[in-house]
Structure 1
Amino acid sequence: MNIKPEFLQIIKDIKEQNIDIQLTTRDFLRYFSCEKRTKGNKGRIDVYLEEQNLETSPNYAELWIDGTLILKHKARAKSKASTSPIQKISILPAANKPPISISRDAKLSDAITQMMMHNFSQLPVMSNPRSVAGFITWESIGYGITNGNSSNEVKDFLDTNVTIVDLDKPLLDAIKIVIEKDFVLVQKKDKSLSGIVTIADISTQFLLLTEPFLLLEQIENLIRLLLDEKFLVQDIKSFCEEEEFENTIEFIDDLTFGQYIRLIEKPDNWIKLNLKIDRIPFINQLDSIREIRNDIMHFDPEGITPEQKQSLVNMAKFLTELIKYK
């Protein structure tokens, strides 16, 4: 594992001076030359922490990527690091961004100004920093005015049917509530608000998770079109026997992504595709896509890196153009 030199000094300070170091999850990962908490990265980091008799609090694997953790020495090494298999709402950036709120005694014009300036649909209304009185929305304002409410006080347009969830609320449970209520307030253990999660935030997270799958499906479908009717069934079966593949092949679709690569990287097979591009860089890029595919199939809640996503977009576009001249 590629450990940054400055991190080695931090570890030395922790051990020799018996101090705790505060840093973000993102910076912690970067000390290990990692951007994401993939299964492989977590395995290597966990082994290293065990070897160095270190731990993080909270567990770096469960914390929001830009959340703050404490790296510290532990008196006795644990046999295995335990992480919750259930994703929490705390994984969402919006759940970790304290919302703009307004006092229940504020003027209605103040609430309207805040909502217009920030393009908000709702504002939490607070009785005090740790007590939510309710919320005010364009809808509650509209209903009030329609029913003859001429007050200029926020408290007279207050909707008290507010839903508050804890920061460690299971994500799937929270999503169901957000869909039903349009939004939820998220609170820390001390009852102060840590964020507000809306349907838009859930949609953004859903797109983050699903877009790579859709791009991969597009890429695989395009590869199948490149291979379609270029080989005899017996040729494919003979190839699989030579490579000692265990799956039964009747159609191009029966091949795995890795098998596509193995098939077309052979010079004799490449000629059959009749493509006017260079074989080696194309195969190398396909292999990079295969590695990204492996990461995606772990369904990491943080998604893939921007560079990985761009690689998928570029390959999908390239194959689309290639198919035009097939």
Structure 2
Amino acid sequence: MERSSMRAWVVRAGENGEREQAALDDGVLLVGWLGLGDLARTTTRDGIRASVAAAYPDEGPYTVGNWTGQLYRFVHEIQPGDLVVLPLKSLRVAVGRVDGDYEYRTAAAHGMRHVRRVEWLVTDIDRQEIQSDLLDSMGSLLTVFELGRFGAAERVAALSEGKPDPGRPDADEFAATLTEPAKLYEEVRRRSPDEPLTLSIRDFLAVWGVQRRHPAATEQIKSGLEARGLVTIPPFTEGTLDSQVAVLAGGAEPDESGTSAVTRLSGSSDLSAAVQSAAHAVGQLPDEEADVQTVAYRVSNLESANRMPESVQVGDSLGTAMTIMVLRGYGQLPVLDADGRLRGVVSWESIGRARMADPGADLQTATVRGQEADRSDDLLDWIGTIQQSGYVLVRDHDHKVCGLITASDLTVQFGTRVRPFVLVEEIEQRLRRVVDRCIPLDRIKAAAPRGRAAQVNSAANLTFGAYGHLLKTPQNWAALGWAIDQQHFLAALEDCRRFRNDLMHFSPDPVTDDQLLPAQGLLELLRSVDPQV
């Protein structure tokens, strides 16, 4: 069968890149899973699941299912001719073309047995040559995953040919011209109220020169909007960075028909249903709530909460639901009415219970109550429910289903958020240990802020910023014995200090790989100059 199109994948070389050199030298993709044998004859997902469960009997259903999906992709879904990206420890990226089926190398060392042959096309792409949205997509903690968004396959192909990343095919070229708030205000004023300015939250934040919605930036933007009578719908604090908002003159007087800009927007047929629904909801709020744009970790901040899940409708057959669940590997499906509102959930458990009571049970009998969160709910309030049930459905302002959050979504989201904290913590630990080992305590005390020296008993009592002051002193720097440039190191340390300070301010938006680069580079340098720490 002829394949419809090339696909692009990421296959990591171990959690810390431990298989990286072998992959590049041997021209292969490598995955670990040391307890598993040859999977070449395991042709189904269920077969791989059984092998994983047998090899790792102490793991729960979620982990077994997650690993099964990655291995199935590696063994069966990745095809010869597909492109593959390998992120490197050097903070560069390699791109290759798959040219062989899955192999199991019996004689190879553990961790080097599950392979796919690959022709490496380029092995030294600078991450700065890759635009932030594609870098974000590469940031998953999974070992094997597809790059399926934003025209990724075509963009990876361009990178493999030495060309620059062409960017998203749907990139808003006009939004790129809104380089400062004044231009945004002028554009909103210039437009007809019936043709509001719409752009992604990512592009909206870029107008103010920020990438994440931390409190200081949000307060600055809110003040600027309020001073000019503007409003974003939905609030720019809700949704993912790729969600769309409309910017309009919320405080403008009514038009000749006696309606506000917000009311007209809710009835517009030219905008997405999500924006129309949000406009309608904003129009119904009391005025003391209408401009509330609190930064919080909302349900809508998860990408899956804004992606319509597959479903069945009231009146469909149970066979239809079961067929979809088997084809897609789902554990449950929402059951919706004709207006898109939730009427319940059908799952393998509910089907089993219904058919125990009546072998001829239909969809209605097998439908049970489903867990449903509002897009604007605090996500933290739903974590317990998601852990217990495995999912929660998401409804929009009109109470229509608009997304589905699973335990897997939470694992990826919070794993991504923990990563920068772990990185900064290792940097601090390494600095503390090398300073304590090489520099006398009296000189460490001298780096503390005035009046705080008496409280310093070791480097652990120093603030992060104090390390810069400490290591500026030639005597202290010489004590380290490092054969590296002091000025470049101190500049990197200052970049990391600013990154750390920004990290400590809450933001619902994840830190991208691009934003992690300064801290990652400093950590790699510390590991190189002082590997014993």
TM-score, length-scaled by structure 2:
0.54
Shift of 1:91: 1.6
> Is the Cα contact below 8 Å between 1:89 and 1:168 reproduced in 2?
yes
Match for residue 45 of structure 1? Answer: 221
* 1:88 equivalent among 263, 274, 298: 298
For the residue of structure 2 that corresponds to 1:128, the secondary structure is: coil
CA distance in 2, matches of 1:9, 1:301: 26
CA distance in 2, matches of 1:131, 1:164: 10
For the residue of structure 1 that corresponds to 2:373, the secondary structure is: strand
CA distance in 2, matches of 1:34, 1:85: 15
CA distance in 2, matches of 1:280, 1:3: 36
For the residue of structure 2 that corresponds to 1:315, the secondary structure is: helix
> Is the Cα contact below 8 Å between 1:105 and 1:153 reproduced in 2?
no
The code of the aligned residue for 1:253 comes to A
Q: Closer, same or farther in 2 for the Cα pair 1:269/1:172, shift >3 Å?
A: same
Q: Closer, same or farther in 2 for the Cα pair 1:72/1:234, shift >3 Å?
A: same
Match for residue 333 of structure 2? Answer: 123
The code of the aligned residue for 1:67 comes to S
Match for residue 102 of structure 1? Answer: 312
| Bigger mean CA offset, 290-299 vs 135-144 | 135-144
CA distance in 1, matches of 2:315, 2:189: 52
CA deviation vs aligned residue, 1:291-325 (integer Å, no higher than 9, x gap): 11111111322122221224433433332333226
Shift of 1:101: 0.4
Match for residue 206 of structure 2? Answer: 30
Shift of 1:18: 5.1
CA distance in 1, matches of 2:399, 2:447: 63
1:15 equivalent in alignment to 2:223: no
Match for residue 247 of structure 2? Answer: 71
For the residue of structure 2 that corresponds to 1:228, the secondary structure is: helix
Shift of 1:34: 2.4
Q: What is the 5 A alignment of 1:223-302? A: 223-240=431-448, 244=450, 246=452, 248-302=455-509
> Is the Cα contact below 8 Å between 2:314 and 2:336 reproduced in 1?
yes
CA distance in 2, matches of 1:127, 1:53: 39
Q: Closer, same or farther in 2 for the Cα pair 1:221/1:305, shift >3 Å?
A: same
1:166 equivalent in alignment to 2:374: yes
Match for residue 67 of structure 2? Answer: none
The code of the aligned residue for 1:122 comes to Q
Higher helix share: 1
TM-score, length-scaled by structure 1:
0.84
1:221 equivalent in alignment to 2:449: no
Q: Closer, same or farther in 2 for the Cα pair 1:269/1:185, shift >3 Å?
A: same
Match for residue 135 of structure 1? Answer: 345
* 2:516 equivalent among 297, 309, 313: 309
Shift of 1:195: 0.7
Q: What is the 5 A alignment of 1:137-216? A: 137-141=347-351, 147=356, 151=360, 154-155=363-364, 158-216=366-424
> Is the Cα contact below 8 Å between 1:7 and 1:31 reproduced in 2?
yes
| Bigger mean CA offset, 46-55 vs 219-228 | 46-55
Q: Closer, same or farther in 2 for the Cα pair 1:51/1:103, shift >3 Å?
A: closer
Q: Closer, same or farther in 2 for the Cα pair 1:106/1:313, shift >3 Å?
A: farther
CA deviation vs aligned residue, 1:51-85 (integer Å, no higher than 9, x gap): 54433233323443232322122448x9xx75335
1:54 equivalent in alignment to 2:230: yes
Provide structure 2 residue ranges, at least 5 long, that are not aligned to the other structure.
1-175, 253-286
Q: Closer, same or farther in 2 for the Cα pair 1:238/1:204, shift >3 Å?
A: same
CA distance in 2, matches of 1:5, 1:301: 23
Q: Closer, same or farther in 2 for the Cα pair 1:319/1:179, shift >3 Å?
A: same
CA distance in 2, matches of 1:128, 1:107: 15
> Is the Cα contact below 8 Å between 1:125 and 1:132 reproduced in 2?
yes
Q: Closer, same or farther in 2 for the Cα pair 1:316/1:155, shift >3 Å?
A: farther
Superposition CA RMSD, Å: 3.0
CA distance in 2, matches of 1:41, 1:97: 27
The code of the aligned residue for 2:304 comes to A
Shift of 1:17: 4.6
The code of the aligned residue for 2:415 comes to L
CA distance in 2, matches of 1:143, 1:17: 58
Q: Closer, same or farther in 2 for the Cα pair 1:134/1:44, shift >3 Å?
A: closer
CA distance in 2, matches of 1:309, 1:116: 39
CA distance in 2, matches of 1:187, 1:52: 32
Shift of 1:36: 1.3
